[in-house]
Amino acid sequence: MFMSGEAGRVLLIYTIVVVSIVFLLSGMPARIASIPLFVFALWHLAQRRMITGEIVAMWISGAVIALPLLQLVPLPPEVWTRLPGRDFIVVGDMILGEKPAWRPLSLDPAQTMRALLFMLPAFAVYYATLALDARSRRLLALVIVILATVSVPLGLAQVAGGVDSPLRPLLGRSHGNVPVGFFANRNHFAALLYAAIPLTVAGVVLSLDRHDGRRLAGVVGGLVIIATLLLGAGMSASRSGVVLSMLALAGSAVLIWRRGGTSRYAGRLITVAVIIGAFLVLEFGLARLLARAAQDPLADARFEFLQVGKQLAAAVSPAGTGIGAFAGAYAMYESLDLTSRYFVDYLHNDWMQIWIEGGALAALVGAAFLAWFGWRCFLVWRHGGGAAAPDAQGRYADDSQLLLARAATISIALLMGHAVVEYHLRASGMECVFAILLAMLTPAPRRPLRPGAQERQRQQGLSVGVRHSHRSSARIAAPSPRRTP
C-alpha cells in the first residue's frame, strides 16, 4: 500500500518539523514532538509490503531499541552478582547489611531509560523517511544541506560575538571562541558539514541533467554551498573535520566518475568550488588551522581517556555497564589527576563506548548493522552509469534516488569512521541526519501511476518493443557484405 498524497505531505512536513525542533531546541520538546511521528510512521510501514532491505533494517533497528529494554529487566541475585563489574555493589550491600535484591543489568537504570528516550527522535525520523517516496526523500536531503549551510554563518556570528555570544549553545561556551553552529562541540559542527558535501554534489549533478530555467540556479547554488561548507570546516579548526571534508570531496569525485554522462561537467564545476573554498579557508581559517596543527596530537586527552576506557571494558565485559551508564562507571576507574581536570561523559571513541555499555549483545547488533550496510553499499555501487541497482524485491525508482543513495553511503562511512575519535553520533541532530542517510539506502516506495499514465506507459513499451523487433528483423534479413579478394 502506497501512502496517499495528502498523508505523504503531512508526514514529510511533520518530519521536517521534528528535525528542526531537534536542531533548535533538542531535549524534551524534541522527544515529545517525535512520539506522533514515531507512531504514524510505524503504522504506515506495517500497512505495506516491505522489501528485503527494509525488513532486515527493521529487525536491526528493533534490536537496537530492545537492547536497553533488556538491560532494564530485573535479574535475580544469583544472576547479576555473577556478572563482571558488579563486585562493588555486592560489597556495598554487605557493608550496609542489606540482602542482595533483584537488580537489572544496567548499573544506572535511570540513565539507560534516559538514553532510550534520547534516541526516540532519530528512530522516528528513520521510520518516517522509510515511509516517504523518492521525491520526499530528496527534500529531506535538501533539509540536511540547508541546515549545514545555515550553520556556517551562524558559526561565524558566534565567533564574532565571542565566547559569551547569545547565539552560542550554553555547553558550547566551554570550548573557547570557536564556531559550533547548532552543537556544543566544533567536531560535531564539522561532522554536519562534511556529511552534507556528497549530498550537495549529488544535487549539482542532478541539476546538470535538467533542461529548464532551474538548471543554472541549481548548479550555481550547489557550488556556492560546497564552498561555504569547506569554509565552515576550515573555520572550525577541527583536524578530523578538515581531513574528512577532503575525503568527502574525494568520495564525491568517485560518485561523479561512476555515473558518467553529464557528470564530467560536474567534476570541472566542483573543482572550481573547491578552489574557491580553499581560498576562503586560507583567508579566514588558516591561523586557526596552523594553531591546531602545532599542537602535539599525543598530548590530546583522548589518549588518556582511552587508557581508562580499556580498563573499564576489561572489567565489565562481556555484560557491559548498560546503555547510558558509562559516565558513572568510568569515574570509578579514572585517576585523581584526570578527575580534577576533566569530566568525561563520553569516551571520544564511540565504538569502544558501545562495547563498554552494551557488551556482547551490542557487538552482535553492531556486526549485523555493518553487514547490512556493506550489503547495501554493494547493491548501490555495483551498477555503473544511471542503471538502477536492483533489490531482492524492488528497484530504485529513478536515477536521482540511486545517486542520493550512493552519496549517503559516502557520508555514512565518513561519520562512522569519525566515531573512532569522536562521539558526534550521540548528538540528537547528528542522530537524525544519520537516520535519514540510512533510510536512503533502501529504495523508496513507488507512487502508483494514474490510469491514463499506466495506459501511456503500456503503449510506449509496446512501441519500443515493435521498434526493437523491426531493427532485429532488418539485421537478420540484411545480407552480409562480401569481401573483395
Q: Give ∠ CA 177-279-234 in degrees, rounded to 5.
A: 30
Grid cell in block for residue 245: 571534508
pLDDT category at 393 given cuts 50, 70, 90 is very low
pTM score, two decimals?
0.86
Give just the sign of the alpha carbon dihedral 421, 193, 327, 320.
Answer: negative
pLDDT at 54: 87
pLDDT at 255 over 80: yes
Question: Taking Cα atoms as reference points, which of 83, 89, 107 lies closest to residue 329?
Answer: 107
* CB proximity list for 62: less than 8 A, separation 6 or greater: none
Identify any residues that bridge with 104 across adjacent strands, giving them in sequence order. 74
pLDDT at 282: 65
Q: Given the C-alpha cell 528493533, which residue does it identify?
A: 62
pLDDT category at 283 given cuts 50, 70, 90 is low
306-315 tens-digit pLDDT: 888 999 999 9
155-202 tens-digit pLDDT: 999 988 888 888 887 665 666 788 899 998 889 999 999 999 999 999
Out of 44-53, 168-177, 412-421, 455-464, pick the least confident.
Answer: 455-464
Out of 124-133, 157-166, 203-212, 456-465, pick the least confident.
Answer: 456-465
Q: Stretch 66-71: mean pLDDT, rounded? A: 96
Can you give the residue ranges of every domain in the chain?
A: 5-72+111-297+347-439, 76-108
Q: Stretch 442-462: mean pLDDT, rounded? A: 57
What is the per-residue DSSP string for 308-341?
Answer: HHHHHHHHHTTT-S-TT-HHHHHHTTS-HHHHHH
Q: Stretch 344-353: mean pLDDT, rounded? A: 89
Give just the sign of the alpha carbon dihedral 167, 172, 175, 179.
Answer: negative
φ, ψ of residue 99 in degrees (nearest 5): -80, 145
Out of 38-52, 175-189, 330-344, pick the least confident.
Answer: 330-344
Better pLDDT: 415 or 256: 415
Percent helix, percent strand, percent coil in the chain, to nearest 5: 75, 0, 25
Better pLDDT: 4 or 386: 4
Number of Cβ atoms within 10 Å of the Cβ of 323: 29
Number of H helices, E strands in the chain: 20, 2
Q: Stretch 450-472: mean pLDDT, rounded? A: 46
Q: Given the C-alpha cell 560546497, which residue does it identify?
A: 226
pLDDT at 170: 64
User: What percentage of the chain reaches a pLDDT higher than 90?
Assistant: 44
The distance from CA 2 to its chain's CA centroid, rounded to whole angstroms, is 26
Number of Cβ atoms within 10 Å of the Cβ of 85: 20
pLDDT at 484: 38
pLDDT category at 46 given cuts 50, 70, 90 is confident
What amino acid is encoded at 382 in this protein? R
pLDDT at 395 over 70: no
Q: Given the C-alpha cell 490510469, which residue does it identify?
A: 451
pLDDT at 455: 53
What is the per-residue DSSP string for 114-174?
Answer: HHHHHTHHHHHHHHHHHHS-HHHHHHHHHHHHHHHHHHHHHHHHHHHH-TT-TTS-GGGGG
pLDDT category at 74 given cuts 50, 70, 90 is very high
pLDDT category at 460 given cuts 50, 70, 90 is very low
Q: Stretch 136-141: mean pLDDT, rounded? A: 94
Question: Taking Cα atoms as reference points, which of 16, 192, 141 lies closest to residue 400?
Answer: 141
* CB proximity list for 398: less than 8 A, separation 6 or greater: 134, 388
368-379 tens-digit pLDDT: 999 999 999 999
Compute the chain's Rg from CA coordinates.
26
Q: Stretch 90-102: mean pLDDT, rounded? A: 83
Cα 159 from Cα 179, distance rounded (Å) = 6
Share the mean pLDDT of the chain. Answer: 82
What amino acid is encoded at 146 in this protein? I
